[in-house]
Structure 1
């Protein structure tokens, strides 16, 4: 058994130390690439079909042709994952990511670069957010508007989000950025969707202005199954400050409670998660067959 994880790069599965791309790759030169990421639960991949469908929609938007269909991408993804699974413990899990860049331009046209990889989830580093709740900080950096680049495509260029993250970390090293759109409404953070709970209803920004997160969609489906009202609408700072509860969704967190927004405690509760967030988190844990919060807290 190898002691090093492998990755798929342009037709070959190689050790990560040999996973190389050209200095002329336009994913590097221009930041022009598309990706998608899912995760495992108990080493089983979650909603791969949904993630790959979104991935191929992003590729279509970005006019990138990977030269293989979804079924081939799924087969490669599973091959990489299954090769790497023996390298993690029974209580560990992976992020699993597909990436396609424009690659190198040549006389015969573009030759895309294709990468599939898996990376262990950072349970220990992020456990604090389940213990104390996530302190959300709203940066001055605004989210790139859909008139410029659609947030519904998962584009690798994270410069906008990284600048926001720099600003937030300068204020609070543990802070999690949630950006405003150009109209002053909360939209999303790095790899995460934002929700509030008000008068028992779950509210999240409209899909036109955010990435259509798979975890976001899963949470909405679970809320509807539980009989919890769900709405997609604009959320401004007043709405956020006066919310009863708040949480973010993401591939790694699934659902993570928010404890404060710009230092202002969320709701009147002394503990997080609140009752609605707890119901949703329990339902999500039931869906994936693992105690999501417990998987993080066990690393403290």
Structure 2
């Protein structure tokens, strides 16, 4: 009997308690609904910012150090300064999570260039950088029925991913103009999600997702014009442990079309099966048009391991912040 997808059923919009959601902005902790960013913040005006999103599971961060690595590398690449050391960031995020009393969350944290200085557009003169963070209930991007159906994806041609020479995709950014154009094109054509190609015509990313194909029994994910996804790395680690080959490489649209299975990876779901591509069923035989056996095994193992504490850093194990901040209520 084929293995069934096991997806948590409680992480829904209906069950999400946003009354417990919090934000840290300008040195204060406030209820999420009271958080404000000035309208002249350069992150808002010019997307001059970076961010990352880590999720918590049963009160512990999943792969916190990997997310901090990526965030700090993005800050360095974009010449942004969050004004805190790595240890201070860890303590602040853990303190925010503990205050929320939410066990399963998305914790978003960002650094912007700060409020625009009148009379100049020289980024070197905008040195009052702003750090902020939010903690909100984790709502799975793929609910159980959606997971079993899988996403219907469209390869969007004519809207290439921003060239890496222009915007380095390794630095997490909010330059989503190409993603949004691609999404509208896919939605207008009746699909769930867009897959964008790089300027060279090779498969790049989907909006907020890395793309993974199962080819000849092994995993392949694009190596160029993509954000190095932590969720994709997680699935590769699990695959390695299960004896499934996994590599990064050049993936062309025709490779995706002949794949035995396709899935997308993201923090908010781990992975999301793709069961149709450009209108055709993904896969062959009994596995055509449904989540395949490798996809299913990876996702189920992912939840089994998280439930056992794999890559989890309990928020309670991190010391409290070493800076003053105001109570949220």
TM-score, normalised relative to structure 1: 0.88
Q: Aligned equivalents of 1:99 and 1:109: distance in 2?
A: 16
Cα shift at 1:109: 4.4
For residues 34 and 234 of structure 1, do their structure 2 counterparts lie closer, same or farther at Cα, with a shift above 3 Å needed? same
Structure 1: 5+ residue stretches without partners? 291-300
Q: Is 1:42 the counterpart of 2:58 in the alignment?
A: yes
Partner in structure 1 of residue 213 of structure 2: 196
Please identify, of 12-21 and 232-241, the stretch whose mean Cα deviation from structure 2 is larger. Answer: 12-21
What is the aligned-residue RMSD (CA, Å)?
2.0
- Contact 2:196/2:203 (8 A) holds in 1: yes
Q: Aligned equivalents of 1:35 and 1:109: distance in 2?
A: 18
Q: Aligned equivalents of 2:96 and 2:69: distance in 1?
A: 19
Match of 1:160 among 178, 182, 197: 178
Q: Aligned equivalents of 1:190 and 1:3: distance in 2?
A: 28
Match of 2:109 among 84, 89, 98: 98
- Contact 2:107/2:135 (8 A) holds in 1: yes
Partner in structure 2 of residue 64 of structure 1: 80
Partner in structure 1 of residue 225 of structure 2: 209
1:17-48 per-position Cα deviation (integer Å, ceiling 9, x unaligned): 32112121111111111000011223322111
Aligned residue-pair number: 282
Partner in structure 2 of residue 135 of structure 1: 152
Cα shift at 1:271: 5.6
Structure 2: 5+ residue stretches without partners? 1-17, 119-124, 309-329
Q: Aligned equivalents of 2:252 and 2:141: distance in 1?
A: 32
* SS of equivalent to 2:156: coil
TM-score, normalised relative to structure 2: 0.80
- Contact 1:32/1:157 (8 A) holds in 2: no
Matching of residues 1-300 of structure 1 within 5 Å: 3-86=19-102, 93-106=104-117, 109-123=126-140, 126-140=143-157, 141-172=159-190, 175-206=192-223, 208-268=224-284, 269-270=287-288, 272-289=290-307
Please identify, of 94-103 and 126-135, the stretch whose mean Cα deviation from structure 2 is larger. Answer: 126-135
- Contact 1:7/1:115 (8 A) holds in 2: yes
